[in-house]
Structure 1
Amino acid sequence: MENLKKAYIAGGCFWGMEDLFRVRPGVVDTEVGYIGGVNENPTYENHPGHAEGIEITYDTRQTSFKELLDYFFRVHDPTTVDRQGNDKGSSYRSAVFIQNDEEKQITEEVIKIVNESGRWNGPVVTQLEPAAHFWPAEGYHQDYLVKNPNGYTCHFERFGTFL
């Protein structure tokens, strides 16, 4: 499947991010997990340095990395350090896990557009981190808000497109 690519992002609790991205046009799969930390085989109880992230598999014929980032910056607050909603700590940081120079350039371009829009009350503090091993979270975290439709989330679409 040469048209399928993966993107790795973190923007707070992975449940809410996954729930919104799963239904985006061009997204063919999502998985929540841990990325960017120090231990192997992290768990919910033991994931030092890891962000709660999502792996997004998308079809490049239907959407682009830039369009995914546009949505990412609309569904979480990228101006808060290590916090989203009630969740606090580095696990809940805003981050894009960069796989190559093209993704880095696109991410920097989108951040510039978001900052220049003035829609957020402060500058974007999203971290650009090198791609790291993605560790899938426990099964009960996968599709959590589908299984628990009244579960907690702090993610929602705040604005229309930045692009």
Structure 2
Amino acid sequence: MVVPDETPLRLVHGGRWVVSRAWVGELTGASAGTLARWYAERHVQPEARRHPEVVHTVGRTHYFDQQAVEAFWAVWQEEVGTGRLGRAGRKPGSPATGGADRAQRERAVSVALAVLREEGGYRRGLAAQLAREHGGVARSWQRAVGEARAVFESEQGAGRDAAP
């Protein structure tokens, strides 16, 4: 039964079952942010792993072909897995540092610091180069290079202050 102000999660359109984004979230366990990203970035995914297109709209609710969604989800689980599903971003009140994310950042800072020491200092484009060489997002590498640069510059300052 449909409550007057609520849109159904699933309905028949053109003789086929169509499902809303909320239904897809219930099927996959993905957060609203992940669902939005899958749809927004569908054009850059391989065809088999591409989120289905909207086939019907009721008010502001988009509906997708249920069979296409289920096929998409089966391929996604097989090729990508479900380990990164859930809420987008940090949970409210969680610390900005610590855990696996901080360990990964520390490794990135170590890599960046080694490059700074080898090259004798910072140069433009270093974060982008590290992102290409080691994978990951350029913005994350920019943060890691910033942290490494602070350590490197403090080491250089300490070296100048030391007596010969």
TM range (shorter): under 0.3
Higher helix share: 2
The TM-score with structure 1 as length reference comes to 0.25
Q: With structure 2 as the length reference, what TM-score do the two structures score?
A: 0.25
- Higher relative contact order (CA closer than 8 Å, sequence separation 6+): 1
